[in-house]
Amino acid sequence: MAKIKPSKGAPYARILGVGGYRPTRVVPNEVILETIDSSDEWIRSRSGIETRHWANDEETVAAMSIEASGKAIADAGISAGQIGGVIVSTVSHFKQTPAVATEIADKLGTAKAAAFDISAGCAGFGYGLTLAKGMIVEGSAEYVLVIGVERLSDLTDLEDRATAFLFGDGAGAVVVGPAQEPAIGPTVWGSEGDKSETIKQTVPWTDYRSGEVAKFPAITQEGQAVFRWAVFEMAKVAKEALDAAGISAEDLDVFIPHQANERIIDSMVKTLKLPESVTVARDVRTTGNTSAASIPLAMERLLATGEAKSGDTALVIGFGAGLVYAATVVTLP
């Protein structure tokens, strides 16, 4: 019996560069109030959101991803030709096939990189990061581009008072590459499919195509159920990720949770008993909920503003539709 040659990858992997892209159009709460019965004060108190970005016709899922990826590649100090894998997490690319990752890989100028899309909602960045780490350690790629990108304005029902104010558009990307010491911790991830009805698309595409419904499908959610799950269950997952990495809350420099809702963020900070010295990402205030893009966008902003610095230890956690989740501890690029 022939023996298969073992893979020769790097001992560890780390994030080497980060980039983000926010659409040029900034949408304040006043615009949202044109179609729902609410107030700016109510939106801010319930979510923390003041503005969000919405894409124009030219700011496609691919175009935003390419902009963010170019910045991440430059930040990592490598060339696009060195990228061996492109992983895109999105729920708002409306072509079932081919994967938008293949278009992005080609336009960036990668050397025929492996390219694929994943659908893991707001946990998608964590899923992609875990896959990239595995590819590098296994040896199938030296550098992997992980992109979280959404055009959720296309899936927003502007008459739905519970969700109309939540969603924004944008793309965030990181380059993951080889490391000589641990810089991406073990991932704590999973799913709770019995709660899948709490965040979902209103109707299947086939119902819209057949004319059974006249209204274009949108994302809807049971706000209170999602809030309770995120606050109580995801704080436990975050603690598991800290334990898996062998560190405590006191060892953290930065906390980058999915930017779903500032009340959820505040509750998680309290439950985890994070010290005041820990920098907490609050990109949700001006970017809204961008699902898979929210963590890399928040990471990029913290580094750009100097609120976080290279080498900081950060806890990242994403959670959303499915319900799915993924948490890990990383060293910032």
Query: Closest by alpha carbon to 259, among 50, 17, 14, 26?
Result: 50
How far does Cα 298 stand from its chain's mean position? 9
| DSSP string covering 218-269 | -EEE-HHHHHHIIIIIHHHHHHHHHHHHT--GGG-SEEEE--S-HHHHHHHH
**Residue 122 annotated as catalytic:** yes
Q: CB of 283 within 8 A of CB of 305?
A: no
Q: CB of 299 within 8 A of CB of 18?
A: yes
List the catalytic residue out of 29, 53, 258, 261: 258
Using alpha carbons, list the distances in angstroms from residue 173 to 66, 144, 170, 177, 286: 9, 10, 10, 13, 19
d(CA 169, CA 283): 13
Element (H, E) at 107: helix 100-108
| The pairing of beta strand 143-151 with beta strand 114-118 | unpaired
List the catalytic residue out of 29, 53, 93, 122: 122
Query: What letter does residue 102 receive in the DSSP assignment?
Result: H
d(CA 236, CA 319): 12
Helix (H, G, I), strand (E, B) or coil at 99: coil
Q: Which active-site residues does the annotation give?
A: 122, 258, 289
